[in-house]
């Protein structure tokens, strides 16, 4: 249960103000079909979380405990730094003429693939024999961060101060990454 909660909290922080939220809100505005967007989001997220957790469980058998902890530290450092240092624009997929569910599923799957949350889920999965719990925690974290974006759409930025939340989340992830990395090196 600790793995699920830790992964949930980490991924939730990593997704605040992230491109997944923005694309989901844009698609909800475009299609005006929350059910289809949420279904596409859920399917894309479930698949990505399963891939990440399964990958982490494979990494677990290849690396020593120290290297796994270093991998986790690096995953958190890059997640935090990414939130603090840069922000790439989101392609609104306006050229895609597919139905709402398919656009949401494919667009969000592609956007989430290789994202910081996938590395956090993989790192958490590698640190425990309960890799499925890392997938569940990651799924709930992404959904908890993104569902309000679909429901609130353009009002999300007006209601929720995304920039300060992004800075605080980034700083927390960066700090946790440094703690893990220094512990892996025996510094602390």
In sign, the C-alpha dihedral spanning 158, 81, 120, 106 is positive
Listed by start position, the domains of the chain span: 2-184
% of the chain residues with pLDDT over 70:
97
pLDDT per position as a tens digit, 124-163: 999 998 999 999 999 999 999 999 999 988 777 678 787 8
Q: How many other CB atoms are there within 10 angstroms of residue 94's CB atom? A: 8
Per-residue confidence at 7, pLDDT binned at 50, 70, 90?
A: very high
State the chain's mean pLDDT as an integer: 91
pLDDT of residue 85 exceeding 90, the answer is: no
Per-residue confidence at 93, pLDDT binned at 50, 70, 90?
A: confident
Cα separation, 146 vs 14, whole angstroms: 11
Per-residue confidence at 75, pLDDT binned at 50, 70, 90?
A: very high
């Amino acid at each position: 249960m600790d793995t699920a909660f830790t992964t949930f909290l980490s991924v939730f922080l990593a997704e605040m103000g992230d491109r997944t939220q923005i694309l989901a809100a844009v698609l909800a505005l475009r299609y005006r079909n929350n059910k289809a967007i949420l279904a596409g989001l859920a399917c894309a997220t479930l698949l990505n979380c399963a891939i990440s957790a399964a990958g982490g469980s494979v990494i677990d058998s290849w690396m020593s405990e120290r290297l796994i902890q270093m991998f986790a530290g690096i995953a958190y450092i890059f997640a935090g730094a990414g939130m603090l240092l840069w922000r790439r624009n989101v392609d609104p997929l306006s050229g895609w003429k597919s139905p709402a569910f398919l656009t949401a599923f494919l667009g969000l799957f592609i956007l989430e693939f290789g994202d910081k949350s996938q590395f956090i889920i993989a790192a958490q999965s590698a640190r425990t024999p309960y890799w499925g719990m890392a997938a569940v925690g990651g799924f709930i974290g992404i959904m908890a961060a993104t569902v309000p974006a679909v429901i609130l759409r353009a009002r999300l930025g007006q209601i929720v101060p995304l920039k300060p939340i992004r800075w605080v989340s980034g700083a927390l992830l960066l700090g946790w990454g440094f703690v893990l990395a220094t512990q892996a090196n025996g510094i602390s």
